[in-house]
Structure 1
């Protein structure tokens, strides 16, 4: 029988009995009606303002997958149900087929992960060069190009270290993996470039709810486009003494 491909994770839902909305993180406005996200695309983008709950949810999903909540894969972390965060305990993940392969990337803790890799791993698996001896963007792409293969990949703001040109290169890597059904991606991002990935499902956490939108409906796209179309208008609002004459 042929091996089934992505998407592997089909839904993320909350267990109402474990949702105590009187305390964090359950009192995040977007979580008010619970969590019910269908992952029917091989690439799903989570978008929203800082504090909207998207990264908090990613970390909890990573815990449920057995990934290190600080970043890494199952080789770098072992956990039991009791070790999970309260939000992770309140989630149900539905798989078909289940995969244990994958990776959780947190831009903010990538330096610590790179140090760990140098201590325990063969650098040939990361392009043969120390991740610390490459620029932040180069090391990110070295990880993407050399370690991403078959599995479920959770990425929290991967654009943080990537120039616009390298964001395009990253999209090419995503395509090489997801198009043949080898990989599934769940990505939290502020990047209008990444949000435009063809066929990606975009889930917004803004306005106190979790809902699917077109990427052009996102505030990130709309604000970026509006600014680039007429930066002077924003400068007038931001800088009292601005004079474009």
Structure 2
């Protein structure tokens, strides 16, 4: 598998969950991978497990100084990414709520990380790619930004809807520069992020019951579409949402 041979890919939030799975797959497909995460030790451990084709980068996506410094260090080291997966985010279970019950601090924290953090990641990715002559940016969306799945998650749903809109805007602005921007929309995917649901049989059954294929998603379910979008196979795809959700948003 060498569909990404010669590519350098940065994946945010890749010390665990979907990001970790995508980083592993990209490496198997021949890419150099940058494990970008705010947890320095975890990022270093994942990079070490992949080997010499991986590098750790400490990045707090909600802090522009941190993001800018990480990209500058990578460019200086000869690791300027031509593929970026803006995947890092939070979902504040037990705090996010219906809008009448939602604390402003929870709203701000969610938006700061999920939406502003994605904005900063994409901003500095575009700057690097303009200098390099193009690239592919892939954002991680959510069914909550498309339908009523997020009725109890006002801040999270709004942040993901914003990401979907950001995709189209940036794709239109930089298509002529050879920069493609797309969003992958996974279904409910069982990672540490959603342990509050996965460890509650009733809640889990309720959400899995709304997936026509009849099971929860796994991190590996989104690897293939991300390889496609990162590779030459996806060179005519930009500004699009790719749902890999077991039919969840088709209903």
TM-score of the superposed pair, with normalisation by structure 1: 0.33
Query: Normalized per residue, which structure has more helix?
Result: 2
